[in-house]
Chains A and B, each alone.
Chain A
Amino acid sequence: MEKKVETICPYCGAGCHLNLVTRNGKIVRAEGAPGRTNEGQLCLKGLYGWEFLNDTKVLSPRLKKPLIRYSRSEPFHETSWEEAIRFASTRLMEIKKKYGPDAIMATGSARGPGNEANYVMQKLVRAVFGTNNIDHCARI
């Protein structure tokens, strides 16, 4: 049984509408949908750019567990979310206490996460870290 979900392409800024067609919970193809900017058309990235979701490992593997290392000379090892968040937040608070909030910098992401995730990130940086050191690759 195929299902269609209408969404927006995650590649360029044209903002094309497309349908992701799934069968048994897996994506089988993408097809153009009637969006304002694309009117049903897609480029090759729109048509085939979903394939990475199947974790093909063609270039690099998907991250599936939090990874941590307590020293840069160590290899990474898997950890729990509790430990990853504890470690990251404790280190950030130590650095903030020692050097001030402006010693911390963060990025947003102009790709998959979306506006809400970016809104929450800049809120975290401004309201919790206490700095305006937040930027993203608009200039890259």
Chain B
Amino acid sequence: MSNSIPEIEDSKLLFVFGYNAADSHPIVARRIVRAKEKGAQIITVDPRRTEAARISDLWLPITNGANMALVNACANVLIEEDLYNHDYVEKYTEGFESYRETVSRYSPEAVEHITGVKPELVRKAMRMYAAAPDAFILYGMGVTQFGQAVDVVKGLSGLALLTGNYGRPSVGIGPVRGQNNVQGTCDVGVLPNVFPGYQSVTDANVRAKFAKAWGVESLPDKVGYMLSAIPHLVKDGKLKAFYVFGEDPAQTDADLAGVREALQTLELVIVQDIFMNKTALFADVILPATAWGEHEGIYSSADRGFQHFRKAIEPKGDVKVDWEIFSLMANAMGYPMHYNNTKEIWDEMRELCPIYYGATYEKIDSQGGVQWPCPTLDHPGTPYLYKGNKFDRPNGKGLLFASEWRPPLEQVDGEYPLVLSTVREVGHYSCRTMTGNCPTLKTLADEPGYLQINSADAAKYGIEDEALLWISSRRGRVITRAQITDRANAGTVYMTYQWWIGACNELTLEHVDPISKTPEFKYCAVKIEPISDQLRAEQYLQEEYSKLRYRLSEPVH
């Protein structure tokens, strides 16, 4: 995020784009409510009538898969109605002419057949956005989980550049990241193209610095593979061993049948985790680790905040902390590695990363956290980026970059007439191994999860509220339960991705954004079928649930 979570409530306008905070980040949602209480205007772009949409001044009910067309229409209005900040664009950006040329073809009227949004709503939204003294764009997976995602992020940052909404509190763009430490995992170089601190693996000087610190002659200079490519890499014979650390791709990745085939084909699968999960069923060796609550370290919040999490209880069983397991592996492979505690590891990393150097454990503890960049020991950290409107580009200028809209890959047809979009569950998290084992949270929601469906579609396909039904795509079929709600738009159905029986990723497809390689979880074609014998269906559900629980518990006993 360019800016911080607490700044949300002091913005004068929130432009919420494909982000359902009420379900994915309830505590961030509180800031949106408080901003409204303090008088901010709210504009929401979402095909569903989310809680943010409900309390908005303006709701743009976009057609699923039309993000780029709508963002370009927004830019078109800002430029053609002369609402943009000429002085800011002149001083701090580049690329305006070609940007203008591309978006000129996207007037709200010209793309209404794609976006489904009435042109006057788009114009009104941009007049409000441009007039606001401070405007903050919040976006979520409704932007990033499409085959065209990075282009849309660049498009949203273009709207902030056009209106000069950077470089001060309560403005900018905020991708509110999903998992508690997804920001941190990026920060410390768990990416195929960068070392910790976003230092490129293709930079010889960077490689030399890390090689020296780590005591090796050289380090690999080729950018590595991305996770979403694994099924193809295995099929092509390029990948033979997979070390899975604290993830469950056999539940969370797209097109699960393809993932299972890859896991079966691999010569070696190592799983290091806290619970048995679907991926572990394919492993050759399973290494049991300590969980949150049983060890300490630093997490990075979505707004770049390093914070110290601590050990509260002793672990039970013959388990080890993750970094100790990695040290054992390194030593067994002939590389001496030894750490006594997390602070030693953190200090080794700080020394190698200029943007984190000043974020010591002592400072994180005394301040309650440190937001990077924090380059020196006397630096307090950075709540918002781009102060003085200097951007992370060689010449310091923000790039205005427009792309043509591309439709989602798998279109609906006579056989698969509905769009499936996968969304979030408020009371459960990710692959659900943690929240699924919390009895209180189980009472909020349980298998097989719900299919959110508009009342018109429910009537059309003979689906009753709370009834079990089959949903299928070209890749698979699962059982789920209907929740008839007009928060969902007609023509699209929604499933949360936490369920192991009603696993929506049996249906999704592995079509990825060309740059981020994130799959198009928000769009595939499906059909639904009512089940006449509901009693038998309920029994089937219970049987499947019992069988799965048995398969997961059997290896441990």
Contacts and interface: CB of A to CB of B under 8 A. Distances in A.
B213 to A, nearest CB: 10
B141 to A, nearest CB: 10
Most B CB contacts (10 A, CB to CB) among A89, A101, A109 go to A109
B460 interface: no
B540 interface: no
Contacts of B270: 88, 92
Contacts of A127: 210-211, 214-216, 219, 330, 335
A129 to B, nearest CB: 8
Contact of A52 (B223, B307, B335, B434): B434
Interface string B361-372: 000000011000
B183 interface: yes
Interface in B229-272: 230, 233, 238-247, 249, 252-253, 264, 267-268, 270
A97 to B, nearest CB: 11
Contacts of B435: 11, 45, 49, 52
A130 B556 contact: no
B224 interface: yes
Most B CB contacts (10 A, CB to CB) among A34, A64, A69, A136 go to A136
B319 interface: yes
B179 interface: yes
Interface string B268-300: 101001111100100111111101111111111
A12 B293 contact: no
A81 B320 contact: yes
A135 B335 contact: no
A135 B226 contact: yes
B489 to A, nearest CB: 25
A105 B241 CA distance: 6
Nearest to B328: A85
Contacts of A132: 192-193, 201, 220, 222-224
A66 B286 contact: yes
A129 B307 CA distance: 30
B139 to A, nearest CB: 13
A63 B273 contact: yes
Contacts of B182: 13, 110, 136-138
Contacts of B346: 115-116, 119
Interface in A18-76: 20, 22, 25-27, 34-39, 41-46, 48-53, 55-70, 72, 75-76
A48 B184 contact: no
Contacts of A139: 144, 226-228, 512, 516-519
Contact of B441 (A6, A39, A49): A49
Contacts of B517: 139
Contact of B227 (A107, A111, A128): A107
A58 B442 contact: yes
A132 B320 CA distance: 25
A121 B226 CA distance: 16
Given A14-B27, A87-B285, A120-B323, A126 B275 contact: no
A1 interface: no
B326 interface: yes
B293 A7 contact: yes
A123 B322 CA distance: 13
Given A44-B427, A110-B181, A20 B312 contact: yes
Contact of A133 (B26, B224, B369): B224
Interface in B304-333: 305-314, 316-323, 325-330, 332-333
A139 B216 CA distance: 30
A12 B267 CA distance: 34
Contacts of B185: 108-110, 115, 118, 136, 138
Contacts of A58: 436-439, 442
A17 to B, nearest CB: 7
Given A14-B5, A75-B555, A124-B326, A60 B224 contact: no
B438 A56 contact: yes
A12 B179 contact: yes
Interface in A82-101: 84-93, 95, 98-99, 101
Contact of A112 (B246, B277, B553): B246
B327 A120 contact: yes
A50 B243 contact: no
Contact of B556 (A9, A16, A67, A114): A67
B58 interface: no
A62 B253 CA distance: 22
A111 B280 CA distance: 17
A116 to B, nearest CB: 4
Contacts of B316: 55, 62, 64
Interface in B388-425: none
Most B CB contacts (10 A, CB to CB) among A35, A69, A112, A127 go to A112
B196 A122 contact: yes
Given A103-B239, A114-B295, A135-B192, A126 B219 contact: yes
A57 B188 CA distance: 33
Contacts of B122: none
Contacts of B24: 12
Nearest to B8: A37
A22 B27 CA distance: 24
B253 A140 contact: yes
B36 to A, nearest CB: 17
Contact of A119 (B144, B188, B329, B444): B188
A102 B320 CA distance: 28
A112 B27 contact: no
Contact of A118 (B184, B222, B301): B184
B190 A135 contact: yes
Contact of A128 (B26, B333, B557): B333
Contacts of B556: 61-64, 67
Contact of B285 (A39, A88, A93): A88
22 contacts: A7-B293, A7-B312, A10-B180, A36-B4, A39-B6, A43-B426, A44-B427, A45-B441, A52-B291, A56-B439, A59-B442, A65-B317, A70-B284, A91-B267, A105-B230, A109-B181, A114-B184, A116-B345, A119-B349, A127-B215, A128-B333, A140-B227
* A-B pairs with lowest CB-CB distance, top 5: A109-B246, A15-B301, A64-B317, A114-B297, A108-B190
Given A44-B440, A132-B222, 17 more contacts: A5-B311, A10-B299, A44-B444, A51-B437, A53-B294, A67-B555, A68-B285, A90-B332, A103-B241, A110-B179, A114-B342, A115-B349, A126-B210, A127-B210, A128-B334, A138-B177, A140-B228
